[in-house]
Chains A and B, each alone.
Chain A
Amino acid sequence: MSEKILYSYTGIFDTPDEVTHAAEEAVKQGYTKYDVNTPYPLHGMNKAMNLPPSKLGYVALIFGLSGALGGLLSLWWVSAIDYPLVIGGKPFFSFPAYIPVIFEVTVLSAAIATVLAMLFFFFKLPNNAHPLHATDYMKKVSVDKYGIVIQADDPKFDEASVRKFLERVHAKEINAVYWVEEEITHKHKIFEPKFLTFLLVVVIITSGTTYFSLNKLMFMLPFNWMMEQQKQNPQQKSLVFADGFGMRKPVEGTIARGFLPYEFQGQPDLAGEKLINPIPISKESLQLGQTKYDIYCSPCHGYQGEGDSRLRGQFPNPPSLHSEKVRTWSDGRIFAVLTDGQNIMPSYSTQLTVDERWTVINYVRALQRALNAKESDLQ
């Protein structure tokens, strides 16, 4: 066994007054690496030990302010920029309504940061390897005695004089505390097999439970009851009807609400003769027509209706809508194309309602007029 390394000298006192006095004397002696251990905080000890004021208030202030600012910015970004919703007729950025959340975030960040800063940065805890642990001294000062520690690495440390000093301030039990050898020589290794196994187990358990709960559990009873609703889904067998079909045809002689059958299937010319555009030209209807045109028609016919979309050359060229033929077509004839399709163009009757088709036609008319303006339009 090699020689033990001295950590400190300790002295024990019975009353708070004595230990306060000892601390004051230690300051006078010029010791800097010393400490006082008491079972509870003593009033006036900070002054006696001449400790500078705690800086933790600044930690709280800084983290509180950044919590507040971060809260404000993220609330603003979420509700005014990324996901604006009108709620209760309030503006997107409604500051009064943000105050509660900002306040909570401020408190949360300040409280957590202050405590963590204290424990891990100011105190460097957890530290169970400190030489004072597992000593008789610690057993006493944790209960009802008051102790002072003069550390060996103090520049003014000298075994004889420290011992004398402790005797002078009437310390009861004066002891030397030594470092525990294995704690000094012990090296923490990151790639310890035990630690790696532990990490592996943690990884398996967390990913396993996450996978199970998100991909399996949510699809079990009763968690999936949103999917199991008591209604008839398409293609399902019906228990109500004798023939077992869940999907039914309309009762004979009826039509669904808002649905009018198209009489001129395959008879575009007849449609051109018979059908009349019921939608009057107005700013709203033209705007709707433009929206729908830009969505459904422009990919082929182009935004100006000149058939100049980027499909040109990659496909049978889409025709221009400004040709003599289309210009002279009646609205009803164009309606027939939109409804039934023509050549390679499919039917748009499922994408556009009847009224929407008419507004698109109005818009096409406007495009045609714009390209072939008459003198009278200038007036």
Chain B
Amino acid sequence: MSTVDYTRELSVLEGKHALRELDDLIAKPLEIKPDKKFYIALAIALSMTGLLVLGLALTFYYGIGMWGNNIPVGWAFDIVNFVFWVGIGHAGTLISAILFLFRQKWRTGIARFAEGMTVFAVMTAGLFPLIHVGRPWLAGYLFPYPNQHSVWVNFTSPLLWDVFAVSTYLTVSLIFWYVGLIPDLAILRERTNHKIKKVIYSTFSLGWRFSNRHWQHYEMVYLILAGFATPLVLSVHTIVSFDFAVSVIPGWHTTIFPPYFVAGAVFSGFAMVQNVLIIVRKIFNYEQIITVDTLEKMNKIMLLTGSMVGYAYAMEFFISWYSGVEAERFVFLNRALGPYAWAYWIMVTCNVVSPQLFWFKKIRRTIPVMFVIAIFVNIGMWFERFVIIVTSLSRDFLPSSWAYYKPTLVDGMILIGSFGFFFTWILLFTKALPVVSMAEVKAVVDGAQPTHKDH
């Protein structure tokens, strides 16, 4: 028996809510003192960040010889992590911009959190190119400014495009996030009686007064920003893919890379957002705001993007044979059967096979199962970048220089530490700002909008 009634639009929230209750629920974490669990979580995240600091200190003091990178594998964990974290950062803008343009109302419950994750993930990602250059304190030269050496940057290099793309992305994401936060900060300003909080909220809400003369422009700006952020989010991972694809290295130079990277980024980003949200909705009792329906929709998007990634793997494999180019054929066979076959098959299992379980409605709606699948997806997407970067480099055109790359302890410390860094920000965010947009959620409650009457 069909349980869905297609004549009605599904409500975004479960149950009936008074608008005031929603405000209370969302603002609650900001108004109570953090409990013990929070401090334990923060301690864990901070100690992982400590590993990052230690790894970086060792790297800066002794140089990047502390890492496993060596010719021919000159790019390894550093770039793998960079691409991985930038990819994670794609879900936020996708949810807030693309789903906004498609008028998917279910995005309201998760948009704010996902945008926050975007900002933190891009910050984490930004660490890696900086440490990868070896002397991060000289990174200012990446920006084109008239300097005393009369030297300009190389505008035709995809690595420089990255500088522009990632910094633009971070800036625009922050702006987008802040614009969305203004009404919520004003709500908090009206709620609080605490003197210091009042000053802070007043300052950052800029004196917002919920005027409809403002809302009109505000909605326009939101639309414009979404219109800009959508191609921007595509461009960022496209440009990351150009880092590889404009070269002539077999396995890197393939024209499907741009859309394939974007699909992969959205895929891993959604997996990460889903993982974190499952925990957040449990801890803060947001089950009725971040509903199982919403999670199911996210799982569908994971199924879609996962299949797109699978399509790209298959197409790459087919065309490598079809091209008739010996180096291409070798590289792809080497991926599947060579020394890094273990990584390749982890990637295929996690990225292509595991999301196919989402074909089943039951699995799409069972929280523990989807949680595990999303973790698999993240593992798989990390290995995807590993496979692309390391296998192609370790078997370059000169067989005499072939080598097997092995990461070092410091590599591992930095990888684990980057998770600590990311989660530290997330934890602080949950206590500093409303993790769900109050104004937006209230706008999609049943009965919150005027009934349509054509006059």
Q: Check: A114 CB closer than 8 A to any chain B CB.
A: yes
Dominant secondary structure of chain B at its interface with chain A: helix
Q: Decide: B220 and A17 in contact? CB cutoff 8 A.
A: no
CB-defined contacts of B450 to chain A, threshold 8 Å? 16-17, 20, 42-45
Query: B424-455: contact bitstring with A at CB < 8 Å (1 yes, 0 no)?
Result: 00000000000000011011000011111000
A-B contact count (CB 8 A): 195
Name the B residues within 8 Å of A139 (CB-CB).
Answer: 190
CB atoms of B18 and A144 under 8 A apart? yes
Q: Report if A100-B164 is in contact (Cβ < 8 Å); known contacts: A16-B448, A37-B212, A142-B190.
A: yes
Interface 9-mer from B113-121, B155-163, B267-275, B301-309: B155-163
Choice from B156, B176, B206, B235 contacting A94 with Cβ under 8 Å:
B156
A residues whose Cβ falls under 8 Å from a Cβ of B: 16-17, 20, 23, 35-46, 49, 51, 54, 56-57, 60, 64, 74-75, 78-79, 82-83, 85, 87-88, 90, 94, 97-98, 100-101, 103-105, 107-108, 110-112, 114-115, 118-119, 122-123, 125-130, 132-133, 138-139, 141-144, 217-218, 222-223, 225-226
Checking A107, A132, A222 against B232 with a beta-carbon cut-off of 8 angstroms, the contacting residue is A107
Q: Which residues of B contact A133 (CB under 8 A)?
A: 207, 209
Q: Which residues of B contact A64 (CB under 8 A)?
A: 228
Beta-carbon nearest neighbor of A75 in chain B: B155
Name the distance in Å between B350's Cβ and chain A's nearest Cβ.
Answer: 31
Segment from B6-14, B35-43, B146-154, B378-386 that makes contact with A? B146-154
- Contact yes or no, A126 B207, CB < 8 A: yes
> Once the chains bind, are A104 and B175 in contact (CB under 8 Å)?
no
Nearest residue in B to A24 (C-beta to C-beta)?
A: B455
What 10 new A-B contacts, CB under 8 Å, besides A38-B215, A130-B209, A144-B20? A35-B211, A41-B215, A78-B144, A111-B225, A112-B171, A114-B221, A118-B221, A126-B203, A128-B202, A143-B20
Query: Would you call A82 and B152 a contact (CB within 8 A)?
Result: yes
- In the assembled complex, the CB of A339 is this many whole angstroms from the nearest CB of chain B, namely 36
Q: Are A83 and B228 in contact (CB under 8 A)?
A: no
Please, could you name 13 A-B residue pairs with CB atoms under 8 Å apart, sorted by A? A16-B448, A40-B183, A40-B439, A41-B218, A44-B452, A56-B220, A83-B150, A103-B235, A104-B164, A112-B175, A122-B214, A130-B209, A138-B190
Whether A49 and B18, one on each chain, are in contact in the complex, defined by CB atoms closer than 8 angstroms, is no
Min distance, Cβ B281 to any Cβ of chain A, angstroms? 22
State how many residues of chain B have any CB contact under 8 Å with chain A.
Answer: 68
B262-284 contacts to A, CB under 8 A, are none
Residues of A within 8 A of B165 (CB): 100, 104
B216 an interface residue at 8 Å Cβ cutoff?
yes
Nearest A residue to B18, CB-CB: A144
A107 touches B228 (CB 8 A): yes
